[in-house]
A and B are shown apart, each in its own frame.
Chain A
Protein backbone atom coordinates (compact mmCIF):
# COMPACT_ATOMS: atom_id res chain seq x y z
CA UNK A 1 0.00 0.00 0.00
CA UNK A 2 1.05 3.54 -0.70
CA UNK A 3 1.97 5.39 2.39
CA UNK A 4 1.92 9.15 2.59
CA UNK A 5 3.48 10.43 5.77
CA UNK A 6 3.09 13.92 7.14
CA UNK A 7 5.74 14.69 9.70
CA UNK A 8 3.52 16.30 12.31
CA UNK A 9 -0.06 15.64 13.39
CA UNK A 10 -0.35 18.85 15.42
CA UNK A 11 1.65 22.07 15.27
CA UNK A 12 1.32 25.35 17.11
CA UNK A 13 3.24 28.30 15.69
CA UNK A 14 3.39 32.00 16.36
CA UNK A 15 2.33 34.70 13.95
CA UNK A 16 5.22 35.66 11.68
CA UNK A 17 7.11 32.40 12.04
CA UNK A 18 8.30 30.49 9.01
CA UNK A 19 6.65 27.08 9.04
CA UNK A 20 7.63 23.93 7.18
CA UNK A 21 5.17 21.09 6.65
CA UNK A 22 6.81 17.94 5.35
CA UNK A 23 5.24 15.16 3.30
CA UNK A 24 6.90 11.94 2.15
CA UNK A 25 5.45 9.19 -0.04
CA UNK A 26 7.00 5.78 -0.56
CA UNK A 27 5.55 4.55 -3.85
CA UNK A 28 7.46 6.57 -6.41
CA UNK A 29 4.43 8.67 -7.37
CA UNK A 30 5.05 11.48 -9.79
CA UNK A 31 2.27 13.73 -8.53
CA UNK A 32 2.04 15.37 -5.13
CA UNK A 33 -0.43 17.87 -3.76
CA UNK A 34 -1.05 20.11 -0.77
CA UNK A 35 -4.59 20.95 0.31
CA UNK A 36 -6.05 22.78 3.23
CA UNK A 37 -9.35 21.76 4.74
CA UNK A 38 -11.59 24.18 6.59
CA UNK A 39 -15.11 23.82 7.98
CA UNK A 40 -17.65 24.88 5.39
CA UNK A 41 -15.03 25.34 2.68
CA UNK A 42 -14.00 21.77 2.02
CA UNK A 43 -10.70 20.83 0.44
CA UNK A 44 -8.85 23.59 -1.38
CA UNK A 45 -5.74 23.06 -3.47
CA UNK A 46 -2.72 25.14 -2.48
CA UNK A 47 0.08 23.81 -4.69
CA UNK A 48 0.88 20.70 -6.66
CA UNK A 49 3.82 19.13 -8.39
CA UNK A 50 4.03 16.67 -11.27
CA UNK A 51 7.77 16.13 -11.09
CA UNK A 52 10.90 16.91 -9.15
CA UNK A 53 11.64 20.64 -9.02
CA UNK A 54 8.33 21.32 -10.71
CA UNK A 55 5.53 23.20 -8.97
CA UNK A 56 2.23 24.71 -9.96
CA UNK A 57 -0.09 27.03 -8.08
CA UNK A 58 -3.43 25.70 -7.03
CA UNK A 59 -6.49 27.70 -6.11
CA UNK A 60 -5.15 29.42 -2.98
CA UNK A 61 -1.35 29.74 -3.19
CA UNK A 62 -1.05 33.16 -1.52
CA UNK A 63 1.08 33.06 1.59
CA UNK A 64 2.53 29.64 0.72
CA UNK A 65 5.40 28.20 -1.23
CA UNK A 66 6.55 24.65 -1.89
CA UNK A 67 9.69 22.68 -2.53
CA UNK A 68 10.18 19.40 -4.33
CA UNK A 69 13.89 18.58 -4.40
CA UNK A 70 13.33 14.82 -4.34
CA UNK A 71 10.56 12.79 -5.88
CA UNK A 72 9.36 11.38 -2.59
CA UNK A 73 9.22 14.63 -0.63
CA UNK A 74 6.97 17.65 -1.07
CA UNK A 75 7.28 20.44 1.45
CA UNK A 76 4.80 23.23 2.11
CA UNK A 77 6.24 26.46 3.45
CA UNK A 78 4.37 29.23 5.19
CA UNK A 79 6.72 32.17 4.73
CA UNK A 80 5.24 34.22 7.57
CA UNK A 81 2.47 32.41 9.37
CA UNK A 82 -0.76 34.25 10.01
CA UNK A 83 -3.79 33.34 12.07
CA UNK A 84 -5.88 32.83 8.93
CA UNK A 85 -3.59 29.96 8.03
CA UNK A 86 -4.83 27.98 11.00
CA UNK A 87 -6.22 24.90 9.30
CA UNK A 88 -5.92 21.20 8.59
CA UNK A 89 -3.29 20.60 5.91
CA UNK A 90 -3.49 17.47 3.81
CA UNK A 91 -0.81 16.10 1.53
CA UNK A 92 -1.63 13.63 -1.24
CA UNK A 93 0.22 11.74 -3.94
CA UNK A 94 -0.90 9.93 -7.07
CA UNK A 95 0.44 8.15 -10.12
CA UNK A 96 -0.32 9.68 -13.53
CA UNK A 97 -4.05 9.37 -14.21
CA UNK A 98 -4.70 7.79 -10.83
CA UNK A 99 -6.46 8.70 -7.64
CA UNK A 100 -4.99 10.34 -4.60
CA UNK A 101 -3.62 8.74 -1.49
CA UNK A 102 -3.77 11.18 1.38
CA UNK A 103 -1.67 11.56 4.46
CA UNK A 104 -3.23 11.78 7.90
CA UNK A 105 -3.10 15.54 7.95
CA UNK A 106 -1.38 18.21 10.01
CA UNK A 107 -3.51 20.37 12.23
CA UNK A 108 -1.76 23.76 12.33
CA UNK A 109 -2.71 26.43 14.80
CA UNK A 110 -1.19 29.89 14.42
CA UNK A 111 -1.43 32.04 17.53
Chain B
Protein backbone atom coordinates (compact mmCIF):
# COMPACT_ATOMS: atom_id res chain seq x y z
CA UNK B 1 0.00 0.00 0.00
CA UNK B 2 1.00 3.61 -0.35
CA UNK B 3 2.50 5.62 2.41
CA UNK B 4 -0.06 8.02 3.77
CA UNK B 5 2.48 10.12 5.58
CA UNK B 6 6.18 9.53 6.01
CA UNK B 7 6.64 12.16 8.69
CA UNK B 8 3.54 11.67 10.79
CA UNK B 9 3.51 11.70 14.57
CA UNK B 10 3.20 8.12 15.70
CA UNK B 11 1.43 6.70 18.70
CA UNK B 12 2.25 3.14 19.72
CA UNK B 13 -0.03 1.34 22.15
CA UNK B 14 -0.32 -2.19 23.45
CA UNK B 15 -3.27 -4.21 22.29
CA UNK B 16 -6.04 -3.84 24.84
CA UNK B 17 -4.89 -0.47 26.14
CA UNK B 18 -6.75 2.77 25.53
CA UNK B 19 -5.48 5.20 22.89
CA UNK B 20 -5.77 8.96 22.92
CA UNK B 21 -5.09 10.90 19.74
CA UNK B 22 -4.97 14.67 19.93
CA UNK B 23 -5.63 17.44 17.47
CA UNK B 24 -5.28 21.21 17.75
CA UNK B 25 -7.31 23.39 15.44
CA UNK B 26 -6.83 27.04 14.64
CA UNK B 27 -10.11 28.44 13.33
CA UNK B 28 -12.26 29.70 16.18
CA UNK B 29 -15.19 29.83 13.76
CA UNK B 30 -15.08 26.06 13.24
CA UNK B 31 -18.15 24.43 14.70
CA UNK B 32 -18.21 20.97 13.20
CA UNK B 33 -15.48 18.40 13.66
CA UNK B 34 -14.91 14.90 12.36
CA UNK B 35 -12.39 12.17 13.01
CA UNK B 36 -11.39 10.00 10.07
CA UNK B 37 -9.45 6.76 9.95
CA UNK B 38 -7.32 5.89 6.95
CA UNK B 39 -5.91 2.42 6.51
CA UNK B 40 -3.11 1.75 4.10
CA UNK B 41 -4.29 1.80 0.50
CA UNK B 42 -7.75 3.11 1.33
CA UNK B 43 -9.56 6.42 1.48
CA UNK B 44 -10.35 8.04 4.84
CA UNK B 45 -13.37 6.63 6.63
CA UNK B 46 -15.70 8.54 8.95
CA UNK B 47 -15.38 7.52 12.60
CA UNK B 48 -17.26 10.05 14.67
CA UNK B 49 -18.28 13.68 14.58
CA UNK B 50 -19.11 16.41 17.06
CA UNK B 51 -20.62 19.85 16.83
CA UNK B 52 -19.56 22.80 18.91
CA UNK B 53 -22.63 22.72 21.11
CA UNK B 54 -21.27 19.52 22.65
CA UNK B 55 -18.15 18.73 24.69
CA UNK B 56 -18.23 14.98 24.35
CA UNK B 57 -19.72 12.38 22.10
CA UNK B 58 -19.46 8.62 22.32
CA UNK B 59 -19.61 5.93 19.72
CA UNK B 60 -18.75 2.29 19.73
CA UNK B 61 -15.38 2.08 21.52
CA UNK B 62 -14.63 5.68 20.52
CA UNK B 63 -15.15 8.98 22.30
CA UNK B 64 -14.49 12.45 20.95
CA UNK B 65 -13.81 15.33 23.32
CA UNK B 66 -13.96 18.96 22.29
CA UNK B 67 -12.41 21.81 24.23
CA UNK B 68 -13.37 25.02 22.47
CA UNK B 69 -11.52 27.21 24.93
CA UNK B 70 -8.14 25.89 23.86
CA UNK B 71 -9.26 24.72 20.42
CA UNK B 72 -8.41 21.10 21.07
CA UNK B 73 -10.02 17.88 19.93
CA UNK B 74 -9.19 14.37 21.02
CA UNK B 75 -10.18 10.87 19.99
CA UNK B 76 -10.17 8.13 22.58
CA UNK B 77 -10.22 4.51 21.49
CA UNK B 78 -11.04 1.98 24.18
CA UNK B 79 -9.42 -1.46 24.24
CA UNK B 80 -7.34 -0.82 21.15
CA UNK B 81 -7.25 -3.68 18.67
CA UNK B 82 -4.85 -4.55 15.83
CA UNK B 83 -7.50 -3.44 13.34
CA UNK B 84 -7.28 0.05 14.79
CA UNK B 85 -3.81 0.50 13.31
CA UNK B 86 -4.18 3.33 10.81
CA UNK B 87 -3.65 7.04 10.33
CA UNK B 88 -6.21 9.21 12.10
CA UNK B 89 -7.14 12.68 10.90
CA UNK B 90 -9.19 15.37 12.54
CA UNK B 91 -11.14 17.71 10.28
CA UNK B 92 -12.78 21.01 11.11
CA UNK B 93 -15.13 23.40 9.36
CA UNK B 94 -17.45 26.29 10.03
CA UNK B 95 -20.84 25.02 8.95
CA UNK B 96 -22.60 26.81 6.13
CA UNK B 97 -26.11 26.38 4.96
CA UNK B 98 -25.29 24.59 1.79
CA UNK B 99 -21.81 23.26 2.00
CA UNK B 100 -18.52 23.32 3.79
CA UNK B 101 -14.85 22.74 3.20
CA UNK B 102 -13.15 20.76 5.86
CA UNK B 103 -9.59 21.53 6.87
CA UNK B 104 -7.69 18.40 7.79
CA UNK B 105 -5.02 18.00 10.41
CA UNK B 106 -1.71 16.36 9.47
CA UNK B 107 -2.73 13.02 10.91
CA UNK B 108 -1.38 10.67 13.58
CA UNK B 109 -0.27 7.13 12.87
CA UNK B 110 -1.54 4.65 15.44
CA UNK B 111 0.42 1.44 15.76
CA UNK B 112 -1.00 -1.33 17.89
CA UNK B 113 1.60 -3.61 19.42
CA UNK B 114 0.77 -7.26 20.11
Which A residues are closer than 8 A to B by beta carbons?
4, 30-31, 33, 37, 39-40, 42-43, 45, 48, 50, 58, 88, 90, 92, 94, 96-97, 99-105, 107
Contacts and interface: CB of A to CB of B under 8 A. Distances in A.
Contacts of A101: 46
Given A96-B99, A97-B95, A97-B100, A102 B6 contact: no
Interface residues of B, number: 30
Interface in B88-112: 89, 91, 95-102, 104-107
Interface string B25-65: 00000001010100001111110010000000000000000
Given A43-B44, A100-B91, 17 more contacts: A4-B43, A30-B98, A33-B101, A39-B3, A42-B89, A42-B106, A43-B104, A90-B44, A94-B100, A96-B98, A97-B96, A97-B97, A99-B34, A99-B49, A100-B34, A100-B46, A107-B2
Interface of B, secondary structure class, is loop
B21 interface: no
Contact of A37 (B4, B45, B98): B4
Contacts, number: 72
Given A99-B34, A100-B46, A58 B101 contact: yes
B65 to A, nearest CB: 18
Contact of B89 (A40, A43, A58): A43
A99 B64 CA distance: 15
Contacts of B102: 99-100
Interface of B: 2-7, 32, 34, 36, 41-46, 49, 89, 91, 95-102, 104-107
